[in-house]
Structure 1
Amino acid sequence: MSATPSHTDYDVLVVGAGFSGLYLLHRLRSEGHRVRVVERAPEVGGTWYWNRYPGARCDVESVDYSYSWDEDLQQEWDWTEKYPAQHDILAYLTHVADRFDLRKDIDFETTLTGAEWDESTSVWTATASDGRRYRARFLLMAVGCLSVPKDIDLPGFDAFTGRVLRTYDWPEGEDLAGHRVGVVGTGSTGAQVIPALAKTVADLTVVQRTPNFVIPTRNRPLNDGELDEIKADYPDRRVRNRTHPAGVFRDDNPKTTFEVDDAEREATFQERWDGGGINFLGSFADLMFDQAANDAVAEFVHAKIDETVDDPTTADALKPMSYPLGAKRPVVATDYYETYNRDNVRLVDVKTTPLDTFTPTGFRLADGTEYQVDTMVLATGFDAFTGAFTTVDIRGTGGRRLSDIWNQDGAKTHLGLGAAGFPNMIIVAGVGSPSVLANMITAIEQHVEWISRLLDTMRSEGYTTIEAQEDAQEAWVQTVEEVAGMTLWPNGDSGSWYRGANIDGKVQIFMPYAAGVVEYGAAIDKSAANGYEGFILS
């Protein structure tokens, strides 16, 4: 490149226009940085644009799954339900983009294919699929943790000649009423889409590889006056959220599971179950630290499955036995277990009888049983944390590819913010940070504020580049592993995407930081206070 650093097109190139990208654009632009956002979708929203499948809903309360950085915004927006549906979140983000005039600095339907660091000019050059090129001092990756679906790994799937729908890119207005439908996947997405489809399709066949613990949502409309009370309490509520490890206040029980008698333990589980949502995980303080405690709560959920599901064989198949509750992403859904009592719904447990192959009109099990479907719905998960990075040709110092490094050594970062060998590339709420183990909005705001402070410091003190030190990066990766090792999270069965185990050949390291946003905030603030310790500023 012939351009000098003073003639870069932008100060900051942001990849992604979801919650992270929109806040980065607003904040950095208001602080005088020249910012451009590229987004492959035709609209803002990130994961909430793509995941339009029936039943899509957030498992964090609507009033907390929203920005805290503008008082007028949080006072003027009216949420209608306790847990927001996909279309409500997308409407909110569309409103944010309009209200703060963000669209003028976003290039929609623009897919980044590569980005290369020029050591001579300290500038990133990024290339889009349509040939457009962007030059910027900083490359901010606001791509989300769950934005690239995993490859289809179903035996003989190419033989199926019916319709295939993937939940991450659901056709707008799609109606499967009267169809014979198969669903593969019973994670968070599957547990939401299965009850929704069951109400309209003629026949629903659920293909389950691993059962999940599903906590009832207990969603409801917000009561009269309830939202007004919340809005009046917003300043204190936001503080409570930021001072809880999960990034959202939970009424956690300080008692441990076995310091109470059987009656109190059962009553506590029941009260939390009736209340619904992630508060169930706060039933006792040791559920994610003591296996016996976790066994007790798992036994409670197993009993609830027995109470709810009429057919004993189906109920047994729905009970997770191979991992602790919470060690995989907790699933929160509405009427999931009740759905298996419907006459038009059947569960096919391929752990008991393996899937042999797909056929032109459905699929066949190893015992020869065949199932006929018109449409297959794939809710089969994501290449979590890394997919949005390794599918782009990102080249750092010496032309080294990030995909080569992460595919060989695992996804390593320092403080979840930077990767050694990739100056001025900053990651937002992804691998090495609390991310999916917390309220993502709290985590995102924490990151954006740190990045804002960093860029202001670099500008005022004349620094050009920042890069993670390799030894600091290795130490942080070890810290993330050690913290996870103090909990039951690493015991999430052989397929946990927290470790990347759901992707064949992916290097397995525990990717989210399990200590939560409070400890994490202390770590990144300490680095900043000590001259961005663990990073090289030049």
Structure 2
Amino acid sequence: MTADVIVIGAGFAGLYAVRRAVSTGLSVLGIEAAPDVGGTWYWNRYPGARCDVESVDYSYSFDEALQQSWTWSERFAAQPEILAYLRHVADRFDLRRHYRFGVDVIGAEFDQEAGGWRVRTRDISQGGESSHAAQFFVCATGCLSAVNRPDIPGADDFAGDVYFTAAWPREDPDLRGKRVGLIGTGSSGIQAVPIIAGQAERLVVFQRSANYSIPMPNRPWSAEEQRRIREEYPERRRMSAYASAGTPHGTYHKKALEADPDERIEALWRRWREGGVLFAKTFPDQNSDPAANDVAREFAEERIREIVHDPVVAADLIPVDHPIGTKRICTDAGYYATFNRDNVRLVNLRREPIDAIVPEGVRTGAATYPCDVLVFATGFDALTGALTRIDPSGPRGARLRDIWADGPVTFLGLMVPGLPNLFTISGPGSPSVLANMVLHAEVQVDWVIELMLTARRLGVHEVEPRRDAADAWTEHVAKAAEQTLFPKASSSWYLGANIEGKKRIFMPYAGGFGTYRRHCEAVADQNYAGLVLTTR
């Protein structure tokens, strides 16, 4: 089959890419490894999985009728509701007919003679391989989709059941009466711990690096709130369109140290009660000025000490290796209080690292912890992993792994030099995980589709960024990060620190979503300056 566009992925970005392309008259083939739509929200079904952006913002804005017809039940939607929403979108716009599900992409090569991509796939259940051709190749593979399976000695020897939060079974395993060991305390681990603790006979949490987490005061939307949300949606979207994080929430009107102490505490309490990642944006200088960051950090640490009864455990739960917010702030429903339970134990792996996994459990330098079940909340090879595993190759033999050997190089976080007609959505060099991912996907996909249509109108067969333009954008991304405290979190997955051997480079664009959007618009307005458009 030859299509105009091949889209990998059926999450928020992939579905919108298919919808947008089809609506302009382009023929599209969608490819998805899962048996249905959902992307990240299909696979991430672990206990407690929930979005940390308010549901009314973490939704499509491109269709007013869709926006007005869907009712979110909660302030912060849980995985089942987000998945139901994406299935509803797929039904509403008849998107499944453009997809092949249960198909894994195993490689891709640019065929210069044909002027397009040949994408190789494997049927996951049947095992057969196929090849598909298209002029354009859109990788909506997700920032958080390539599961990180850490190489721990003895992992294959464990006699019990093993689960990954990033690839949780479709049917929840029964953990009642089980001794569970959970490795990893990032977002998924922090969300899962309170629920697993309430089911298991005993839970041991193995923590390598503590993370800051802010309570998520979730609640159902009232009927009046739902009415008001629908009424105010246009203004809410207008405020989000060029906002720093793609949501309508701003920061306090003064810098942290410009406010008097009482003002600062009041502002911090307000954000603590609002909950979630917004706490990282209480003050406008919180992520750039160490003194401002200390104000927020000390407040959060006081709250942890208030919640956790044992001062030693509280001290272990307080991060010592990064300013608050420079690793993504987690959100939770009772995480810290869970460590007051008699059936929960925290093991600080910096004091007693894991020696090996043994048949009966986990052995550290100090003890062996018996486990019937191991849960790996070890996250993803973020931002680049899903792309480098495909490792597409360009017309001059350049492979993505080689191009990115010293860190990802992109133009606007959308294109890669040496790989014409290939587009990356929500990947490195774009705000991606630092912004509202749904609005972010719409902006990027719209830019990509408009470029495709321009190429068709002009008779252009190949579009590719110049290497110097990509280098300049990549340098701009690095400088934007240097203006913040983000690089100080040396163990962050923003830098790839969770993946052995991965180059340590801050990958997202930290200059703000609105600034990024203006950069994209400027390039288009300047007739796609920085790109080489080739006709035959």
Partner of 1:260: 259
Deviates more, 1:166-175 or 1:96-105: 166-175
Residue 15 (structure 1) aligned with residue 8 (structure 2) = yes
Partner of 2:412: 415
- Of the three residues 483, 497, 503, the one matched with 1:501 is 497
Partner of 1:162: 160
Measure the CA separation in 2 of the matches of 1:260 and 1:385. 37
Give 1:263 shift: 2.1
Partner of 2:509: 513
Give 1:455 shift: 1.4
SS of structure 2 residue aligned to 1:498: helix
Partner of 1:171: 169
Equivalent runs, 1:122-271 vs 2, <5 Å: 122-129=115-122, 130-174=128-172, 175-271=174-270
What is the identity, as a one-letter code, of the residue corresponding to 2:216? T
Deviation track 1:324-361 (CA, whole Å, cap 9, x = no partner) reads 11111111111111111111111111112222222111
Measure the CA separation in 2 of the matches of 1:460 and 1:190. 49
Deviation track 1:206-258 (CA, whole Å, cap 9, x = no partner) reads 00000000011111111221011001111111111112110111131121111
Partner of 2:483: 486
Partner of 1:444: 441
SS of structure 2 residue aligned to 1:394: coil
Given that 2:181 and 2:204 are in contact with CA atoms closer than 8 Å, whether structure 1 keeps it comes out as yes
Partner of 2:359: 360
CA RMSD of aligned residues (A): 1.1
Measure the CA separation in 2 of the matches of 1:264 and 1:76. 40
Deviation track 1:457-483 (CA, whole Å, cap 9, x = no partner) reads 111121111001100111111100000
Partner of 1:397: 395
Given that 2:73 and 2:221 are in contact with CA atoms closer than 8 Å, whether structure 1 keeps it comes out as yes
Deviation track 1:101-127 (CA, whole Å, cap 9, x = no partner) reads 111110000101011101122111111
What is the identity, as a one-letter code, of the residue corresponding to 1:338? A
SS of structure 1 residue aligned to 2:396: helix
Measure the CA separation in 1 of the matches of 2:423 and 2:15. 16
What is the identity, as a one-letter code, of the residue corresponding to 1:501? A
SS of structure 1 residue aligned to 2:223: coil
Residue 82 (structure 1) aligned with residue 78 (structure 2) = no
Deviates more, 1:190-199 or 1:84-93: 190-199
- Of the three residues 519, 532, 536, the one matched with 1:536 is 532
Q: How many residues align?
A: 528
What is the identity, as a one-letter code, of the residue corresponding to 2:120? T
Give 1:22 shift: 0.6
Partner of 2:523: 527
Given that 2:210 and 2:317 are in contact with CA atoms closer than 8 Å, whether structure 1 keeps it comes out as yes
Partner of 1:313: 312
Measure the CA separation in 2 of the matches of 1:521 and 1:260. 31
SS of structure 2 residue aligned to 1:37: strand
Measure the CA separation in 2 of the matches of 1:76 and 1:500. 40
Deviates more, 1:121-130 or 1:74-83: 121-130
Measure the CA separation in 2 of the matches of 1:49 and 1:405. 31
Equivalent runs, 1:424-439 vs 2, <5 Å: 424-439=421-436
Given that 2:197 and 2:203 are in contact with CA atoms closer than 8 Å, whether structure 1 keeps it comes out as yes
Measure the CA separation in 2 of the matches of 1:251 and 1:22. 29
Given that 2:165 and 2:379 are in contact with CA atoms closer than 8 Å, whether structure 1 keeps it comes out as no
- Of the three residues 474, 477, 489, the one matched with 2:474 is 477
**TM-score normalised per structure 1:** 0.96
Measure the CA separation in 2 of the matches of 1:151 and 1:204. 21
Measure the CA separation in 1 of the matches of 2:277 and 2:398. 41
Deviation track 1:259-294 (CA, whole Å, cap 9, x = no partner) reads 122222222212211221222223211110111111
Partner of 1:5: none
Measure the CA separation in 2 of the matches of 1:358 and 1:502. 19
Measure the CA separation in 2 of the matches of 1:167 and 1:439. 22
Give 1:172 shift: 1.7
Partner of 2:452: 455
Equivalent runs, 1:339-358 vs 2, <5 Å: 339-358=338-357
SS of structure 1 residue aligned to 2:16: helix
SS of structure 2 residue aligned to 1:409: coil
Measure the CA separation in 2 of the matches of 1:257 and 1:75. 38
Give 1:507 shift: 1.6
State the percentage of identical aligned residues.
47
Give 1:179 shift: 1.1
What is the identity, as a one-letter code, of the residue corresponding to 1:453? E
SS of structure 1 residue aligned to 2:325: coil
What is the identity, as a one-letter code, of the residue corresponding to 1:422? L
Partner of 2:330: 331
What is the identity, as a one-letter code, of the residue corresponding to 1:335? G
Residue 105 (structure 1) aligned with residue 98 (structure 2) = yes
What is the identity, as a one-letter code, of the residue corresponding to 2:12? F
Measure the CA separation in 2 of the matches of 1:478 and 1:404. 18
Given that 2:147 and 2:167 are in contact with CA atoms closer than 8 Å, whether structure 1 keeps it comes out as no
What is the identity, as a one-letter code, of the residue corresponding to 2:188? T
Deviates more, 1:275-284 or 1:285-294: 275-284
Measure the CA separation in 2 of the matches of 1:521 and 1:268. 29
Measure the CA separation in 2 of the matches of 1:397 and 1:145. 26
What is the identity, as a one-letter code, of the residue corresponding to 2:521? D
Give 1:200 shift: 1.1
Given that 2:242 and 2:515 are in contact with CA atoms closer than 8 Å, whether structure 1 keeps it comes out as no
SS of structure 2 residue aligned to 1:199: helix
Measure the CA separation in 2 of the matches of 1:252 and 1:263. 17
Give 1:158 shift: 2.6
Partner of 1:322: 321
Measure the CA separation in 2 of the matches of 1:307 and 1:155. 37
SS of structure 2 residue aligned to 1:382: coil
Measure the CA separation in 1 of the matches of 2:349 and 2:161. 22
Give 1:370 shift: 1.6
Equivalent runs, 1:359-398 vs 2, <5 Å: 359-367=358-366, 369-398=367-396
Please, which runs of 5 or more residues in structure 2 have no aligned partner? 123-127
Measure the CA separation in 2 of the matches of 1:443 and 1:468. 21
What is the identity, as a one-letter code, of the residue corresponding to 1:240? M
Give 1:485 shift: 0.2
SS of structure 2 residue aligned to 1:114: strand
What is the identity, as a one-letter code, of the residue corresponding to 2:470? Q
Partner of 2:125: none
Deviation track 1:20-71 (CA, whole Å, cap 9, x = no partner) reads 1111111110111010100000010000000010100000000010000111
What is the identity, as a one-letter code, of the residue corresponding to 2:251? D
Measure the CA separation in 2 of the matches of 1:156 and 1:301. 37
Give 1:409 shift: 2.3
Equivalent runs, 1:23-34 vs 2, <5 Å: 23-34=16-27
